[in-house]
Amino acid sequence: MAHPDVMPRARIRKEIARLSTSALGLCLAIAMALPAAAEDAPGMIRAHGYSFYGDLSYPPDFPHLNYVNPDAPKGGTISISAQGTFDSMNPFTRRGRAGAFSSSIYESLLETSEPFGSGLVPADVYGESYGLLAHSLEYPETKEWVIFHMRPEARFSDGTPLTAHDVVFSHNLFLEQGLPSYAQAVSARVIDAEALDDHTVKFTFADGISRRSLIDQVGSTPVFSQAWYEETGARLDESRMEISPGSAPYVLDSFDVNRRITYRRNPDYWGNDLPMNVGRHNFDELRVEYFADGAAAFEAFKTGEYTFRAENNSRQWATGYDFPAITRGHVMREELPTGFAPTPTGFVFNLGRDFLQDKRVREAITLAWNFEWTNDTLQYGLFQPRVSFTQGTRFQADGPPEGLELELLQGLGDLVPQEVLTEPARMPHTSDAARLTDRRNMRQAAALLEDAGWSVDASGQLRNADGARMSIEIPVSSAGSATMDSIIETFTQNLQGLGIDARFQRIDPAQHTDRRRNRDYDMIFDQYVAFMDTGTGLHQRFGSEAADDVFNPAGLRSPLVDAVIDLSLDAPDPETRDAALMALDRVLRHEHFMIPAWFNDTVWVAYWDMFRRPEETPPYSTGELDFWWFDQDRFEELRAAGALR
């Protein structure tokens, strides 16, 4: 485990300053050179968008995003599937299961992500955001505060004006009734929110903290109607079906609990003509069809009950797409490239369990995982082994640290284990692809367990010196695929071969959600986030301050990880930030709190052939719910052929 002493943040900042003495001058030079940002006064920046180092790819007068079809027609319906159940349309509470995309009817001061889906906006650049509810912002180079100048024409879907008072109300509502971890983190960083007038809002930030994730944090917070909350007495932290009006392009049209949710494009949307929105939000209707499990969902897609499918089941992708609509050319399949680092999925250890706090035990359990056999036998060889939390990016750590990364790590002193400084970054073990049980790895695992005080008794059961048996239970959602069940089942078989009382428990989605939230598991197949930039969200995902939070399923508490995150947050220039993020990937892998699973460097999609998209998709979004469009003529052909109702 990491050294218990925590390096003071002041020392971290001093070390960064030593390594980058010219960084402030560099930042000033960058800011002065930017064509997209103008200085109204010395040390002041006023711009139409925001990035931390000030570089914006789109000029103030851009006509539309580079990757959209500005002439895309409006109309038609696109439908997708969801699995499990929902019992709330309020996505901002921990109670209940919120309906799909229920947060997408709200907007923020800056446009940061697609209303539906997981893509960014703009989707062809990273780390940049542009004005949405706000047309511009101004802030000092020191980023002590920010003022947003809002669009007076902004309206909620009920026709009422959206003002700076709603922005301040929403900010305070999240602090008072939002997730405690969010409220604690934001209130420590944002010390004041003030409506200077109806269309001007100012946020003031705390002294002595990183300037990271301040302006973009307040700029990306959803904005609610203060009048609606005050009139209804509703709370942000309650599970409810009634929702407040949003200001986004789509409104909630209808829902049938556990069966269907329909969103309708608002023809009176206030922002229809914004350059940011040209060529986007093209469907008249977005529908989500709910199914009990993956098998039922796939059968429904084959008959056109819903029309767009993002496939995540390798067995299905390899063998399932041979139904009549495919052979007749009515359904299309594509593998779309992605510029995102793959999501770090895998088997996460609950570090709150005493026996899993021993790294030797975690190493032994990991050796029972056979990626090669699993991929070849159960996943048709379609995946690659995931190595890094930033797989395939410039932040991925490979060999021993060197250059600026090494200097940053050395500056943390005794907090960094010697092997982190001298050895290559941790790599997954390899296994025999021909057989599930790799005897070499199992012997090594048994030796590690023996060294950690766990021995196999005469009956083949693994016990510690007190005679207690090692037990591991992995909960699995019943809404998942049969392939995932097989993957976890075969992994537990290998664990049983080590003498561990290992089993997986298939439970309904609501129970699975509840157990995940309460960390009621020994191990769970879950995910963290891939990072392609720094921000205070790294502390929420990986930091000790959020070890009890739902976003940190391992409960990781590592002073080493905390210190390296701080290095990235305090980086004065992109070079130092990049070196710190590579170091973060290295130390996260060193802590070994999850068994990395697999990744795919493309996105598998299948859809009924009445949807069209730009010829080139941007790297950070597939965009099916954002900038694709409906081909009415082709739809009529499919319907005339009896393919669709």
Beta bridge partners of 474: 504
The per-residue pLDDT for 16 is: 41
- For residue 512, what are its two tokens? 């699975």
Q: What is the mean pLDDT of residues 3-30?
A: 38
Max CA separation in the chain (angstroms): 80
The per-residue pLDDT for 500 is: 98
The per-residue pLDDT for 32 is: 32
Domain with CATH 3.10.105.10 in the chain: 345-599
The strand ranges marked E within 292-378 are 308-311, 331-337, 345-349
* Residue 28 pLDDT greater than 50, yes or no: no
Domain 9-65+99-232 has CATH 3.30.470.20: no
Tens of pLDDT, residues 313-342: 999 999 999 999 999 999 999 999 999 999
What is the dihedral sign for C-alpha 191, 197, 198, 201?
negative
Please choose, from the candidates 343, 344, 357, 345, the residue with its C-alpha nearest in 3D space to the C-alpha of residue 557: 357
Strands 200-205 and 44-47: unpaired
Pick the CATH number of 345-599 from 3.30.70.1230, 3.10.105.10, 3.65.10.10, 3.40.50.300: 3.10.105.10
The per-residue pLDDT for 182 is: 83
- Least confident range of 31-35, 92-96, 332-336, 478-482: 31-35
Give SS3 for 535: coil
* Residue 94 pLDDT greater than 90, yes or no: no
Domain with CATH 3.40.190.10 in the chain: 9-65+99-232
In what order do the strands lie in the sheet containing 523-527?
A: 523-527, 345-349, 594-596
* Residue 3 pLDDT greater than 70, yes or no: no
* Residue 35 pLDDT greater than 60, yes or no: no
Please choose, from the candidates 55, 128, 15, the residue with its C-alpha nearest in 3D space to the C-alpha of residue 583: 15
How many CA atoms lie less than 13 Å away from 129 in the CB half-sphere? Answer: 23
Tens of pLDDT, residues 345-364: 999 999 999 999 999 999 99
The per-residue pLDDT for 510 is: 87
- Least confident range of 84-93, 442-451, 625-634: 84-93
- For residue 414, what are its two tokens? 């005794």
What is the dihedral sign for C-alpha 209, 213, 214, 218?
negative
Interacting residues of 595 by C-beta distance below 8 A, sequence separation 6+: 346, 347, 349, 365, 366, 369
The per-residue pLDDT for 41 is: 61
Q: What is the mean pLDDT of residues 15-31?
A: 37
Beta bridge partners of 349: 523
What is the dihedral sign for C-alpha 273, 277, 278, 284?
negative
The per-residue pLDDT for 447 is: 98
In angstroms, rounded to a whole number, what is the distance separating the alpha carbons of residues 328 and 332? 10
In angstroms, rounded to a whole number, what is the distance separating the alpha carbons of residues 380 and 617? 27
The per-residue pLDDT for 14 is: 42
Tens of pLDDT, residues 423-449: 999 999 999 999 999 999 999 999 999
* Average pLDDT value over all residues in the chain: 92
